[in-house]
A and B are shown apart, each in its own frame.
Chain A
Amino acid sequence: MNLDYIEVTQFTGKDKPNLEYLQREAFYPNAERYSFQGCKKIEIWNFPERNQLSIKGSFPYFLNGHNYNSSTEDWKEGIDYLSSCLNLNLYLGLIEAFEFGTIQEISFPENAFLRNHVKIQGMEARSYQKGNVLTGKEFLSPSLKVKLYDSNRNIKQKLEKPIQEEITRLWGWDREKHYIKLENHYKKPEVHFRGNLYLHEILSPEFQITLQWELYKTYQKIMKTGNVILPEKKADINAGTIPLIILKELESVYNFNTEELLRAKLKEISEELLSPADRKARLKILRENLKKISTSGRSEFDISELLKAKIQQQDNTDTPFIYEKKGEEILTQISKI
């Protein structure tokens, strides 16, 4: 679990930031946009009239070339370097937005996982597809965006081979397995956390623990389908029961009763088309089919326990979020040549 994208604004006051290391990308009436090349570019906006400098981008991508995992130590090294180049103490920067999330291995295909995560009460839901394949979902409120997406696809398609090999070596990523990314994108952290946040604060171990549990709680709020226990006999999974299985799954999410809904629908049909005896007969078949379907309290796609175990494992270490390097020194990983 780690921080990812961030927008941080530093008020420069009388101190002029050093822009020598930046590449100028564009000029606007009141702003200048620059970039700083690390493993990937990070965006830097200078607002000279307002004495402000803003940094926007994913620090893990900037520092490591991927966002599979990045420790707070990585962040500190990167911020020290950037602060040194810009002649600013970026730790005092105000957080305008940030993301905190995790990549989690799952035991089922990513699109099935996504399909069975339906909505969060009071938040707008959006789905993202590539062709016919569901690749991501977002749940939005004015201050928070919860993101769920197929991270395996991203790793395979966006990351270069040496980086893929590195994350396999360091964190055991296996291209044949399934992985999703769960992320809280705090659009207005000052609203969500009721007060301004500064970069040094969000890097503190205490705040990192808060963010881990926030992520867990957000995940639990996602209403999930996949809580139906399928009939054991093949004959019971027929064309009549399959739509009922889906309806039963959606009951808890959309707060309705399948049987009542079906009965009401039958009542709406005119007697000229369906006599009372016909209705009764159809309702009897529907009830018999419904009896074949039972539900459990928990969705089979629910990964709450995995997330909880991950947090507890991280909490038990002396230095939260500093990943175990498994005896390897980063600097010995020569992949160039």
Chain B
Amino acid sequence: MNYRFIENLHIPLKYEKKEGTKGSFLQVDGEKGILPERISWGMYAKCKASNRDSHKVSEINAQYKKMESGAYKGINGGKIHTSIWKPLPNYPEFYGYGIIDERHNLFDLLIIYSENVCTSSMEIHIFKGMGKPDFLENAFSFLRNLSKKEALSIQGFNGYL
């Protein structure tokens, strides 16, 4: 897929861990009104001993506040839930990826990038409609090429925005 086309589908967001919490992250950069400003990060659902769940690395859970607007507020009563899976094998530099929200005919891809394995900050890169298997490789490749330009580093990320 064309670089410029993917660029138009890409929404980069940055979250930092709220002090004194176990897994609560607050949005610090990127377009507002996409995901909730506060998200919960961590494995909450009970994992089965299935092959599928062995690829699961975390979850994002969040809910929009009453007055908060958001791209996904209209679905699932404003509740966000997505499992985060291990990245594609050829892209180990990324933490993982998830999809919002197959149950509602949306296939927005979320790729998680973090320089501290999501202990204090993370970048969530959303790609509209690219959550189906055919497009995963394109999105990861796009991000890798951005990262080559240091756009995924903290300073670069700010510059990128």
Residues of A within 8 A of B (CB): 18, 20-21, 37-39, 62-65, 74, 77-78, 80-81, 84-85, 87, 163, 166, 330-337
Contact = CB atoms under 8 A, between A and B. Distances in A.
Interface in B1-37: 1-9
A331 B129 contact: no
Interface string B73-85: 0000000000000
Nearest to B104: A20
Nearest to A333: B3
Interface stretch (B39-47, B52-60, B117-125, B146-154): B146-154
B160 interface: yes
B92 interface: no
Given A81-B129, A84-B129, A85-B129, A332 B5 contact: no
Interface size class of B (residues with CB under 8 A): 20 to 34
Given A334-B148, A337-B151, A21 B129 contact: yes
Given A84-B107, A334-B146, A65 B160 contact: no
B104 A331 contact: no
Interface of B: 1-9, 104-107, 128-130, 132, 134-135, 138, 141-142, 145-146, 148-149, 151, 156, 159-160
B141 A331 contact: yes
Nearest to B75: A20
A20 B134 contact: no
Contacts of A21: 106, 128-129
B117 to A, nearest CB: 26
B107 A330 contact: no
Complex A-B, nearest 8 residue pairs according to Cβ-Cβ distance, in ascending order: A85-B129, A18-B105, A77-B1, A84-B132, A63-B5, A331-B141, A39-B4, A334-B149
A331 B3 contact: yes
B58 to A, nearest CB: 25
Nearest to B74: A20
Nearest to A78: B5
A158 B1 CA distance: 23
A174 to B, nearest CB: 21
Find the residue from A78, A85, A166, A335 having the highest chain B CB count within 10 A.
Answer: A85
Given A18-B105, A64-B2, A85-B107, A38 B8 contact: yes
B132 A330 contact: no
A81 B160 contact: no
